[in-house]
Amino acid sequence: MSGVAFADIEAAAARLAGHAVETPLLESPALNERLGLRVLVKAETLQRVGAFKFRGAYNRLSQIAPADRRRGVVAFSSGNHAQGVALAARLLNMPAVIVMPADAPSVKVEATRGYGAEVVFFDRLTESREAIAARLAAERGAVIVPAFDDPDIIAGQGTAGLEMVRQARALGAEMDLVIGPIGGGGLMAGVALAIQTLSPRTLAVGVEPELYDDARRSLASGRRETLAPTVRTLCDSLESPSTGELTFPVLRDRLSAIATVSDPEVAEAMRCAFSTLKLVVEPGGSVGLAALLAGKVGQAAPGACVGLVLSGGNVDPVLFTRVLAGEF
């Protein structure tokens, strides 16, 4: 397994108290009517840095020994983990350098720099971000903070699941199903572990872009599959070529299914989130909603109570304008 236990998620929640936002669990009668479900939306778009990634980043960085903090941290990310690490480092008075793809959305690059981090660019199709991060960490004596394949990262992301169960019960609801995005798998590994510990009957379904369906292939084969990143998708935050060594066993054991969605389906979900929920959601954060709207989640029986994670809202303004205009 991942080396992550439910107690680790509870401990992460204690560390995050007063630092992370307890994001709301929202319900829209209009969305419920459209889908024939009761959908409880976990709006991680309203988390610090605009994405769930702050949870895992702060949980990891806060456990670095004070004597080691002056050497800082190195992370690699297309944007949301970058911002989470940058802000956590600033709050803990640590230097941070982030390895980002040269084509990362400018809104994410600017925000990462705005939190005080140094940004080093790489070509995602020809260079290894892991190799660059390893070199920088060796040169600086810094700690590498992975985006998802780390027990403390997984535990931090799992705190969203803890909140969902408590918030749903406060609404008089028990979730039949929880849906969320999969890139490297840290979010759904942590959320599924947290929710199913508290509510064993709740099923978990992951969603990923159809052009980056490594998790779906991995669950089908029973082993980690890796894709060669030769194409792009709207969902820049989910363009991981494989799940993690730590996250895959959790996903394999806890997910009932993995759905895949196309770019046009993601764009429709972004429009729906904006018009119906009044939320700005980035492409990668919209895939769960996209799967529901496209009827790709067979586990969501009519009338079921579905927990839906909208994982981030850091979308490039120009891209968002084009999506709203129906260009995708």
Q: Which residues are catalytic?
A: 53, 311
Domain boundaries of the chain, sorted by first residue? 6-52+150-324, 54-144
Task: Return the CATH number of 6-52+150-324, one of 3.40.50.1100, 3.30.565.10, 3.90.1150.10, 3.90.1520.10.
Answer: 3.40.50.1100
From the list 189, 304, 302, the residue with the least C-alpha distance to 248 is 189
Per-residue pLDDT at 109: 87
Q: What confidence tens digit (pLDDT) does each residue in 62-115 have?
A: 999 999 999 999 998 877 999 999 999 999 999 999 999 898 878 788 899 999
* C-alpha–C-alpha distance, residues 85 and 90, integer Å: 8
CATH 3.30.530.20 fits 54-144, yes or no: no
Percent over 70 (pLDDT), the chain: 99
In this predicted structure, the answer to whether residue 2 has a pLDDT above a threshold of 70 is no
pLDDT band at 130, cuts 50/70/90?
confident
In this predicted structure, the answer to whether residue 249 has a pLDDT above a threshold of 60 is yes
In this predicted structure, the answer to whether residue 1 has a pLDDT above a threshold of 80 is no
Section 256-261 average pLDDT: 97
pLDDT band at 124, cuts 50/70/90?
confident
Cα-Cα-Cα-Cα torsion 76, 78, 84, 90, nearest 10 degrees, comes to 60
Per-residue pLDDT at 238: 92
Give CA separation, 176 vs 168, 197, 273, 299, in Å: 11, 14, 22, 9
Are 6-52+150-324 and 54-144 the same fold in CATH? yes
Considering the chain, what is the average pLDDT of its residues? 94
Per mean pLDDT, which range of 11-25, 120-134, 207-221, 268-282 is the poorest? 120-134
In this predicted structure, the answer to whether residue 32 has a pLDDT above a threshold of 80 is yes
Read off the amino acid at residue 258: I
* C-alpha–C-alpha distance, residues 190 and 250, integer Å: 8
Cα-Cα-Cα-Cα torsion 85, 91, 97, 98, nearest 10 degrees, comes to 20
In this predicted structure, the answer to whether residue 180 has a pLDDT above a threshold of 80 is yes
Per-residue pLDDT at 75: 95
Per-residue pLDDT at 207: 98
